[in-house]
Chains A and B, each alone.
Chain A
Amino acid sequence: MEIGSPPSGNIITTRLDKIVNWGRKWSFFCYPFVTACCGMEYMSTAASHYDIARFGAEFPRFSPRQADLMLVVGTICHKLAPVVKLVHEQMCEPKWVIAVGACACSGGFYRNYSVVQGVDRIIPVDVYVTGCPPRPEAFLDGIMKMQAKVDTESMFQRRN
């Protein structure tokens, strides 16, 4: 069956979405954009103690071209903003973004000349994980929220 054009029978489309989303949500290729202390929590989450591999996301790719889930982990300053934008643009569709920690969500306690007040001013964010820094459990909860969101999407939608 050709993937580019939707087949006429609705029942088949639904099942195809389901199976594709099932594959996508259990095999996130994370790009960890780690800039600050939340990165320690990510390392803890990714290592064996909390074991992010239970969610199929254990394989961080350090090239955005090989990743589909961008983790913005830490403070983003104005000097770095164009780089975040560039990295996000380099990722292929489908792609998702999780903002981890208070700084990435809203600027956190940095309300000054240098810090961007939330990474959603630069790139679209799907899931926000709160905490300063968030515990690994919160991180895993964010991954599960992301899985739930991916499950609702259709593979024929272009997201960004």
Chain B
Amino acid sequence: MAEKNPTIKKLLAKFGGQIEVVASPFDKMDTVRVKRESILDVCMFLRTEDDLDYDLMRDLTCVDYIHEKPRFEVVYHLYSIYNGHEIRLKVRLEERDPTIDTVTSVWVGANWYEREVYDFYGIRFNNHPDLRRILLYPEFVGHPLRKDYPIDREQPLFEERKETKGVR
């Protein structure tokens, strides 16, 4: 049961109204929905608290629920190497303002994950040190993994790129 999980007990005691335990029937992993404003505090708490010690950010990704409101959901998978326990955090974001605080100050490895989410979903991470596209190229128009990106839309063809200019 999720409520017996010591991590969730501590989170509820510390953050109370900011978080909500949600069911995850598919894989039974303990899951918590966090309000957007407090994601950085929650992550820092999970990382620094002695007997929690979530030192490994396993995954950071995004889901586009196009027919729901709020539309986007950023998902964090956290793991503690020493204690061997894991938790999933979910944050819902509105379509008109898809911004969230970066967690690169907690886990340095979040940098490229957040760039990937920005690249494919257009989620903007506040205070990110280097928020550029990571897999696509700078001239790309739009964010292709959003569900309203047409599956067969063609990008404008670029025959020359800034970094190859002058290399003749």
- Which residues of A come within 8 Å of B, CB atoms? 78-79, 81-83, 85-86, 89-90, 111-114, 116-117, 121-122
How close is A121's CB to chain B, nearest CB, in angstroms?
6
| Chain A residue contacts of B155, Cβ below 8 A | 78, 113-114
When distances are taken between beta carbons in the complex, the residues of chain B under 8 Å from A114 are: 136, 144, 155
Residues of chain B contacted by A112 (CB below 8 angstroms): 144, 151-152
CB distance from B160 to the nearest CB of A (A): 5
Complex Cα spacing A81 to B159, Å: 6
Asked if A79 and B157 make an inter-chain contact with CB atoms under 8 angstroms apart, the answer reads no
- Extra 19 A-B pairs, beta carbons < 8 Å, given A78-B158, A113-B155, A116-B157: A78-B137, A78-B157, A79-B137, A81-B158, A82-B159, A82-B161, A82-B164, A86-B164, A86-B167, A86-B168, A89-B168, A90-B168, A111-B151, A112-B144, A113-B144, A114-B144, A117-B154, A121-B157, A122-B157
B159 x A122 contact (CB < 8 A) = yes
Within 8 A of A (CB), among B56-89: none
**Bound Cα distance A122, B157 (Å):** 8
Number of chain B residues whose Cβ lies closer than 8 Å to a Cβ of chain A: 19
CA gap between A32 and B152 in the complex, in Å: 29
Interchain pairs with CB closer than 8 A, number:
42
Instruction: With a 10 A CB-CB cut-off, give which of B142, B144, B155 has the most chain A CB atoms.
Output: B155
Pairs A-B, 6 closest by C-beta atoms: A113-B144, A82-B161, A79-B137, A85-B159, A111-B152, A78-B155
- Closest residue of A by beta carbon distance from B145: A113
Q: From residue B166, how far is it (CB to closest CB) to chain A in Å?
A: 11
Would you list which residues of chain B between 88 and 140 have a CB under 8 Å from chain A? Answer: 136-137, 140
Return chain A residues, CB-CB under 8 Å to B161: 82
B4 at the interface (CB under 8 A from A): no
Q: Which residue of A lies closest to B136 (CB)?
A: A79
Query: How long is the Cα–Cα vector from A86 to B160 in the complex, in angstroms?
Result: 8
The residue on B at minimum CB distance from A84 is B159
Contacts of B157 in A (CB 8 A): 78, 81, 116, 121-122
The complex places the Cα of A51 from the Cα of B42 at a distance, in Å, of 64
Given A78-B137, A113-B144, A114-B144, decide whether A85 and B160 contact each other with a Cβ distance below 8 A. Answer: yes
With a 10 A CB-CB cut-off, give which of A82, A121, A122 has the most chain B CB atoms. A82
Quick check: A113 and B168 within 8 Å, CB to CB? no
Instruction: Tell whether B26 is near chain A: CB-to-CB under 8 Å.
Output: no
Please give me the residue from chain B that is nearest to A123 by CB atom: B159
CB distance from A160 to the nearest CB of B (A): 14
Q: How far is the CA of A85 from the CA of B161 in the complex (A)?
A: 11
A114 to B149 Cα, complex, angstroms = 12
Check if A82 sits within 8 Å of B158, measured CB to CB.
yes
Minimum C-beta distance from B137 to chain A (A): 5
The minimal Cβ–Cβ distance linking B83 to chain A, given in whole angstroms, is: 41
Query: Distance (Å) between the CB of A110 and the closest chain B CB?
Result: 10
Query: Taking the complex as formed, is B28 at the interface, i.e. its CB lies under 8 A from any CB of chain A?
Result: no
Question: Complex: how many Å from CA A116 to CA B155?
Answer: 9
